[in-house]
């Protein structure tokens, strides 16, 4: 593995934040990322206050397959047979390129509204725990997933592309690849860094300053793409 990635992989595996910049050619955004298995209410609060974007849970394609989860675009396509105008809403390709990674939204059945820091943390952490089980006992994990979660909810699920960075190079794939390389359950939590002054995405240099001030590893998407090619031999 690339030496530059070691601090970030170590941080991710112990439950600390990392920052990931995709590329200037794509969204040109930086996401604050943490391993789902280590999520706490305090970390949700940090993402909400200091990042400010949409808090999502990204999972590997193989885990989504265990649960039988479709992409939201696929759901809309099926539903449009009964509600024809829905077909006009389907985004086949995002403006920055590639298929949107969004799937369904969920709450854990044990929460109330599902939106509080505590309840979002619990929903996502249980998703990670069940997903860890899925790696060894897929049928049991699938049963637990459908008995413990309900939809719609307040946690947006994202599905990584089947071939990860060989197919799509979004924060979903970048963070899931990092989780795999860190040897942890491939479920991550990510939130875009926003700028309350410009009211746009936080610039890369400002995000790097944020990372330096807080001792958070900053990872470039290109570094992860090179690592992916090295690991996969492509």
The residues annotated with a catalytic role in the active site are 31, 56, 96, 107, 154, 192
Stated length of the chain: 234
Cβ contact 29:20 at 8 Å: no
Whole-angstrom distance, CA of residue 73 vs CA of residue 224: 27
Instruction: Find how far residue 22's CA is from the centre of its chain.
Output: 13
**Interacting residues of 191 by C-beta distance below 8 A, sequence separation 6+:** 31, 32, 33, 47, 48, 51, 52, 53, 54, 55, 56
**Residue 222 structure tokens:** 């290109």
Whole-angstrom distance, CA of residue 104 vs CA of residue 75: 9
């Amino acid at each position: 593995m690339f030496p530059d990635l070691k601090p970030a992989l170590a941080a991710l595996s112990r439950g600390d934040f990392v920052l990931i910049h995709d590329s200037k050619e794509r969204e040109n955004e930086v996401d604050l990322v943490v391993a789902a298995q280590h999520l706490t209410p305090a970390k949700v609060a940090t993402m909400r206050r200091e990042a400010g974007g949409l808090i999502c849970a990204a999972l590997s394609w193989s885990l989504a397959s265990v649960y039988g989860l479709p992409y939201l675009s696929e759901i809309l396509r099926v539903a449009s047979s009964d509600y024809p105008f829905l077909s006009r809403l389907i985004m086949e390709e995002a403006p920055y390129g590639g298929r949107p990674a969004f799937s369904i939204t969920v709450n854990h059945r044990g929460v109330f509204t599902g939106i509080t820091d505590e309840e979002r943390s619990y929903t996502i952490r249980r998703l990670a725990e069940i997903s860890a089980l899925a790696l060894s006992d897929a049928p049991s994990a699938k049963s637990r997933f459908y008995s413990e979660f309900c939809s719609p909810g307040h946690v947006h699920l994202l599905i990584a592309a089947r071939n990860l960075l060989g197919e799509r190079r979004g924060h979903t794939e970048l963070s899931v690849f990092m989780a795999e390389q860190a040897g942890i359950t491939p479920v991550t939590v990510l939130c875009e860094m926003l700028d309350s002054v410009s009211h746009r995405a936080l610039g890369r240099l400002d995000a790097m300053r944020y990372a330096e001030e807080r001792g958070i590893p900053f990872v470039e998407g290109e570094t992860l793409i090179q690592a992916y090619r090295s690991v996969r031999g492509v």
